[in-house]
Structure 1
């Protein structure tokens, strides 16, 4: 498939006035894709290129990451992140879009679907990680808050040094690629704030989502594949497509063709 032109960078503001950035390219049905917790939107540019002939792919930097700097920990909540998605659609004059993301981004997509269902026509959940009522343990919360504090005091590279070896190589490479564009205090605020938060209270809450939902199960301990089956059990219109995302994948360019066919299949179903 031919690559689309280089994405255009845009600047917009969240409902609280925070300056945020995004990248927009391609043509067709509007599709917002949110990166995982650690990289920025550039991890999804190769995927956007593969999807750009059938979708207008909108790639925000989640507040706290990349160019969307927000150093106030109090301004990092799932509702705030979901509101940022709506603010982006408003800025672009889009009434209704597909919204998706990877890891943390999938949690934001779910929160947007729950709080603004009139604006979200379908969801794309790549490597979902959120378990609702199964909250992180105090030890897990303390560990993530410790990572956040190390990022704040010693820098992004130092803070992630102990985390990257736990990740699949391709995922780690995408996080590492974002180091040069990261603001340490901003990223630390985000990671520290959400350590104990979940985007929904119970998995059963997802039964309120009436729109079609594509679930691409994760394949590592932080994004357990069995979570996709739990989602399938409560979603009204689930499409679960297992994908080998990480075996032999070393970077964003390798990740993109692994997940693009599943998203293309979802787009072909005309969910919006």
Structure 2
């Protein structure tokens, strides 16, 4: 695995010194789209902590693939581990991510629990029974992506942005919310098809596996989002032995998330 990993295929950024947080973005996202949305406030992340962010395979400015297996959460977890090893060495890290990034972080933690000091799971996506019910949807989107490409999908999503995010978040970020689609516009048809076909197969680890993760965990979730149901976040909070769940029902709650992330990391530093 280590010998075949090519770090030059990944766009990444590492800042600060100290306890590392390795952050993974969500499906169709990237560092650029996170910064455009503006809710992460990474510019406020303290320099006495290390922050490693990157664009996942096929996303942002990282190299793409037409191989579905490269987009499975287990594969993304391997990428996460190898990138961390190449950039940070054998340090014990905090893993965090949004949506898809929750999946890669959880599998990476299961692979090397002794190397993970904490977990931050933002907006956990559908899982288990709910994930199974979405498989046909992801397969349909894969076909559409093959025809429309990133620009076409971005145009459609822009018209229905209220279906992707809670209405109160869209209202609060009217001038920046469409920026989260910028990364999607440059994505290739073939890689998008593979990404959605993988999404149809992806799922969280089993409840039995998650119950073995005795790692401090911060879960951040909001309501009124079918792609990131609050029920999945509450189930994760019940399954993970050391989990703490924060539910957001308005923009003021989400505005607290960057501080919650920083405080969590500082406590584990």
TM bracket, shorter-chain basis: 0.7 to 0.9
Is the contact made by 2:72 and 2:201 (CA closer than 8 Å) also made in structure 1? Answer: no
Question: Equivalents in 1 of 2:240, 2:60: separation in Å?
Answer: 32
Q: Does 1:109 align with 2:94?
A: no
Q: CA-to-partner distance for each residue in 1:194-235, whole Å, 9 max, x for gaps?
A: 2232131x2342111111111001321211123222112121
Q: CA-to-partner distance for each residue in 1:123-150, whole Å, 9 max, x for gaps?
A: 100001142355422xx32222222222
Which region of structure 1 is more displaced relative to structure 2, 216-225 or 19-28? 19-28
Q: Does 1:123 align with 2:123?
A: no
Is the contact made by 1:30 and 1:98 (CA closer than 8 Å) also made in structure 2? Answer: yes
Give RMSD over aligned pairs.
2.7
Q: CA-to-partner distance for each residue in 1:146-178, whole Å, 9 max, x for gaps?
A: 222222222213224444511123696243121
Is the contact made by 1:15 and 1:87 (CA closer than 8 Å) also made in structure 2? Answer: no
Q: How many residues align?
A: 249
Question: Equivalents in 2 of 1:27, 1:180: separation in Å?
Answer: 34
SS in 2 for 1:70: coil
Residue number in structure 1 paired with 2:61: 67
2:217 to 207, 213, 216: 213
2:23 to 16, 33, 37: 33
Residue number in structure 2 paired with 1:95: 91
Q: Shift of the alpha carbon at 1:183?
A: 3.2
Is the contact made by 2:76 and 2:104 (CA closer than 8 Å) also made in structure 1? Answer: yes
Q: Shift of the alpha carbon at 1:244?
A: 4.5
Residue number in structure 1 paired with 2:135: 141
Structure 2 CA distance for partners of 1:41 and 1:112, relative to 1, 3 Å: same
Higher helix content, 1 or 2: 2
Q: CA-to-partner distance for each residue in 1:14-45, whole Å, 9 max, x for gaps?
A: 94548222122233311111111012122344
5+ long unaligned stretches in structure 2 = none
Question: Equivalents in 2 of 1:14, 1:64: separation in Å?
Answer: 21
Q: Shift of the alpha carbon at 1:71?
A: 2.1
Equivalence map 1:225-244=2 (5 Å): 225-244=230-249
Higher relative contact order (CA 8 A, sep 6+): 2
Q: Does 1:167 align with 2:160?
A: no
Equivalence map 1:247-258=2 (5 Å): 247=251, 257-258=255-256
1:260 to 258, 261, 266: 258
1:42 to 32, 35, 42: 32
Question: Equivalents in 2 of 1:184, 1:248: separation in Å?
Answer: 37
